[in-house]
Amino acid sequence: MKQVTFWYDFASTYSYLAALRVEEVASRHDVEVIWQPFLLGPIFGAQGWTDSPFNIYEAKGKYMWRDMARLAEEQGLLFKRPETFPQNSLLAGRIACLGKGEGWGADFTRAVYTAQFGEGRGISAPEDLAPLLTGLGLDPADVLARATSPDGKLALRHGTDAAIAAGVFGAPSFTTEDGELFWGSDRLEQAVAWAATHGG
Amino acid sequence: MKQVTFWYDFASTYSYLAALRVEEVASRHDVEVIWQPFLLGPIFGAQGWTDSPFNIYEAKGKYMWRDMARLAEEQGLLFKRPETFPQNSLLAGRIACLGKGEGWGADFTRAVYTAQFGEGRGISAPEDLAPLLTGLGLDPADVLARATSPDGKLALRHGTDAAIAAGVFGAPSFTTEDGELFWGSDRLEQAVAWAATHGG
């Protein structure tokens, strides 16, 4: 089965739109989705940004929130702008890495994005994420302990290193087995179609 | 008839993709296209950029050229990266403003974008643009003189002022009669559909 890798950071607004439809699009093309969390922070930092470019460039930020609202409506998704943006995505990213290896990474990811950008809720703190884990039938204390263990931390670091090696510079991104890179929720359909017809 | 305003700068790569299909998309929705040239320079300058962000941010630039090649192929368009990027778009913008008032602005715009990004040619100098004007049945000497007259210069400045007033921060952009702003060739279809169903 052909594969597409979906690279995402929980601080990324447009990744919400991608996360909530990537499986449906991929299944239409018989393509398997590899859900790969990473952190944008080190990548943005290397470009000299210490905040989201949507906060640094005010016009772009104002536009992004309106664009998100329109696109979420088109996609039939809830949308509510959280008070804080961007939120610290470190813990959620570590948990998603753990879930990736245990088969619940995609479900957790959709739950976090929906909480954050569908309902405007916080996703940075353990108490924000515990109810989402419970909702998936997981034991929050156990998951949080393992996700923040040395191995848990290393998994997200490896994800970020792999993103950098793949040329990823923003989120969401998609890569195919023949090394093509696609950036943005807008490119999801094109990336999946490419994955279905090239390499692998 | 409902209207959509198409804002473009000849230095913008993605505006090529929009310019070559906007009329077809708009005609499907019975929407009229207002072709409005403007200059990105003053807008980027206000954000602290003195070069294209695709040159300032190397990874983004490298990606953009690959993305353009893929999208042009999908759209059935020629694509050749020009040696110089961005090119000075001042003269072409002034001429397009003149053509806007005389009914040949859209044809001239498509010719300039195709020369630049379809064939990789220069578009900054009068001798680059003269053959394109001749191809449209116009007298290059006459057009160049009028486009660079005080009134000709003023028309492009007014276009840029109007872009800023409309909240435009990049190209291509689209605005509708009820004040919605859409940014990027990716948003062309959405903008035209919005124009067809809202306001006016």
Residues within 8 A of A (CB atoms), B 148-167 only: 167
Instruction: Inform me whether the pLDDT recorded for B192 exceeds 90.
Output: yes
The model carries a pTM of: 0.95
Mean per-residue pLDDT, B61-88: 97
Q: How far is B8 from chain A (nearest CA, A)?
A: 17
Query: What is each CA distance from B187 to A80, B7, B15, B133, B175, in whole angstroms?
Result: 21, 12, 11, 30, 11
What is the per-residue pLDDT across B155-165, written as a single tens digit (0 to 9) for each?
999 999 999 99
Instruction: Please tell me what DSSP assigns to residue B178.
Output: T
Instruction: Quote the CA–CA distance of A55 and A85 in Å, as a whole number.
Output: 8
Nearest to B47 among A57, A62, A70 (CB): A57
Nearest chain B CA: its distance from A158 CA (Å): 20
> Rounded to the nearest 5 degrees, what angle is found at the Cα of A82, between the Cα atoms of A114 and A102?
35
Indicate the residue of A66, A169, A186 with minimum beta-carbon distance to B60.
A169
Average pLDDT over residues B104-129: 98
* CB atoms B181 and A63 under 8 Å: yes
Q: At what angle do helices A90-102 and A105-113 cross, to 10 degrees?
A: 150
Convert the pLDDT of each residue in A171-198 to its tens digit. 999 999 999 999 999 999 999 999 999 9
Is B48 near chain A, with CB under 8 Å?
no
Put simply, the answer to whether A63 touches B186 (Cβ < 8 Å) is no
B142 touches chain A (CB under 8 A): no
CATH class of the domain at B2-197: alpha beta
Tell me if B169 and A57 make a contact (CB, 8 A cut-off). Answer: yes
Q: Helix H segments across B136-183?
A: 140-147, 150-165
pLDDT band at residue B73 using 50, 70 and 90 as cut-offs = very high
The pLDDT value given to residue B138: 98
Residue A49 pLDDT:
80
Spatial contact of B128 and B22, defined as CB atoms under 8 Å apart: no
Interface test with B, best of A181, A185, A197 (most B CBs within 10 A): A181
Structure tokens of A14?
A: 């447009």
Q: Between A and B, how many CB-CB pairs are < 8 A?
A: 41
| B183 contacts in chain A (CB < 8 Å) | 63, 67
pLDDT of the residue at B199: 67
Q: Which single residue is written with the structure tokens 């890495």?
A: A97
Q: Nearest chain A Cα to B170, which residue? A: A60
Chain B contacts in chain A segment 54-93 (CB below 8 A): 57, 59-60, 62-63, 66-67, 70, 74
Q: Where are the domains of chain B?
A: 2-197
Put simply, the answer to whether B47 touches A66 (Cβ < 8 Å) is: no
Contact A59 B190 (CB under 8 A): no
What single-letter amino acid sits at B77? Answer: L
| Closest chain B residue to the Cα of A63, Cα to Cα | B181
Nearest CA in chain A to B56: A47
Q: What is the pLDDT of residue A53?
A: 83
CB within 8 Å: A70 and B186:
no
pLDDT for A66 equals 98
Tens of pLDDT along chain A (200 residues) come to 999 999 999 999 999 999 999 999 999 999 999 999 999 999 988 888 888 888 888 889 999 999 999 999 999 999 999 999 999 999 999 999 999 999 999 999 999 999 999 999 999 999 999 999 999 999 999 999 999 999 999 999 999 999 999 999 999 999 999 999 999 999 999 999 999 999 66
**Residue B42 in this model has a pLDDT that exceeds 70:** yes
Which residues have CB under 8 Å from A167's CB, separation 6+?
A181, B59, B62, B63
Interface of A with B in 98-137 (CB under 8 A): none
